[in-house]
Structure 1
Amino acid sequence: MSPEELRAFCLSFNDVVEDFPFNPETSVFKVAGKMFALSALGGRPLTVNLKCDPDLAVQLRAAHPEIVPGYHMNKRHWNTVTADGDLPDEQLGELIEDSYDLVVAGLPRALRLRLDRP
């Protein structure tokens, strides 16, 4: 997945904004003000930090060398994924969507319903 594809995919979800709270090089993708993905889109290799269910995070790390504990993040809840590696784009897209869904699941019910995510 290219940096442009990664940005476009993250922004394709409801109510997502791209923000730069850390520095101008690090894109942070948020839904309702809560972060679900962050990436230095100009970095090589291209990586993205994604929120993940803790049990699934351990399984993914064991199965895929492109997935490691979240860099500068809570390593129990975040993975760093090499986006331009051997991981298929479809699977990376599923991980991004899962991260978005985990964040949305923690939002108040009324906001979740507005986002069409029960």
Structure 2
Amino acid sequence: MNETELKALSRDWPGVASAVKWDDDLCFTVAGKMFAVYCLHGPHRGRISFKVDAERFLELTDQPGIVPAAYMARAFWVSIAEPDRFARAKIAEFVRRSYELVRAGLSKRLQAGLDAAQAANSKS
């Protein structure tokens, strides 16, 4: 999965934005909180990092091709070091779950605002 596919995947999710940070990483956020990072340049080009359920962290990092994310592992983030090992649908599932986890951590007020914005967009 590349950056264009990630943008297309998350484009219609409420509150999602993306921007390049740290010169090399395309960061996807919901209401300003990161839920996925795609490395654009350098030795880790193509690597995708995202948040996972705490109870799945060890299970996932035991799989070939998935490692704890640098600087973010303590917050239960993993990196798919070898994206070609995984089907696009599986990566999409991981990224969607990350979005849901981060969104669930937002205040109820922010979540309600995202829901209202989505409802308004779907009516137009």
Q: TM-score by structure 2 length?
A: 0.79
- For structure 1, the 5+ residue unaligned runs are none
Cα distance in 2, alignment partners of residues 106 and 29 from structure 1: 16
Larger C-alpha radius of gyration, 1 or 2? Answer: 2
**How far off its partner does 1:20 sit?**
2.5
Cα distance in 2, alignment partners of residues 60 and 3 from structure 1: 22
Cα distance in 2, alignment partners of residues 87 and 71 from structure 1: 20
Q: How does 1:24-39 map to 2 (within 5 A)?
A: 25-39=24-38
Cα distance in 1, alignment partners of residues 52 and 65 from structure 2: 15
Number of residue pairs the alignment of both structures matches: 115
**How far off its partner does 1:46 sit?**
1.2
Give the corresponding residue for 1:17.
17
Q: How does 1:1-118 map to 2 (within 5 A)?
A: 1-23=1-23, 25-42=24-41, 46-62=46-62, 64-82=63-81, 84-116=83-115
Give the corresponding residue for 2:121.
none
Percent identical across equivalent pairs? Answer: 30
- For structure 2, the 5+ residue unaligned runs are 119-124
Read off the aligned partner of 1:8 and give its amino acid letter: A
Q: Which segments of structure 1 move beyond 6 Å, counting only runs of 4 or more?
A: none
* 2:18–2:28 contact (8 Å) kept in structure 1: yes
Q: What value does the CA root-mean-square deviation take over the aligned residues?
A: 2.2
